[in-house]
Amino acid sequence: MQTISIAQVMLSILIFMVMFFGIGFLLNMLLRMTWLMAIIYPIVVIFIIDDIPMYQYVTKPGFAFSELGSNILSLHMVDIVILSSGLVGAIISGFVMKALRKQGYQMF
């Protein structure tokens, strides 16, 4: 089992939050869909935690979804907190974009 220091956890939380805030903010500016990143984020998490090719969700759905379920259940609490911080960043970007639009800023 690999150990992770508290500094690495805090830095990972910050990186995920800022990264998905930025991606969400850019998607909001370009596509004018405020909550798009918050909706897409679960798919991104599946890409991060799952090692099964996406075509197997169509060709072998029983196997693929059972593997996904076991991968989700095998996550450690640290992993869940880090991945959740990305969702928080995506949600914050939606609120920031709504506030900016309410104040009159027009993005593209």
Whether 108 maps to a domain, the answer reads: no
Whether 80 maps to a domain, the answer reads: yes
Whether 21 maps to a domain, the answer reads: yes
Whether 69 maps to a domain, the answer reads: yes
b vs e for 23-47, b when ≥16 Cβ sit within 10 Å of the residue's Cβ? bbbebbeeeeebbbbbebbeebbee
pLDDT at residue number 32? 84
Whether 107 maps to a domain, the answer reads: no
Which tokens belong to 62?
Answer: 């029983």
pLDDT tens profile 53-90: 889 999 999 999 999 999 999 999 999 999 999 999 99
Whether 1 maps to a domain, the answer reads: no
Whether 83 maps to a domain, the answer reads: yes
**Range of 64's domain?**
6-102
Whether 32 maps to a domain, the answer reads: yes
pLDDT at residue number 21? 96
pLDDT tens profile 42-57: 999 998 999 888 899 9
pLDDT at residue number 1? 63
pLDDT at residue number 106? 77
**Cβ–Cβ under 8 Å, residues 21 and 90:** yes
pTM: 0.85
Number of independent structural domains in the chain: 1
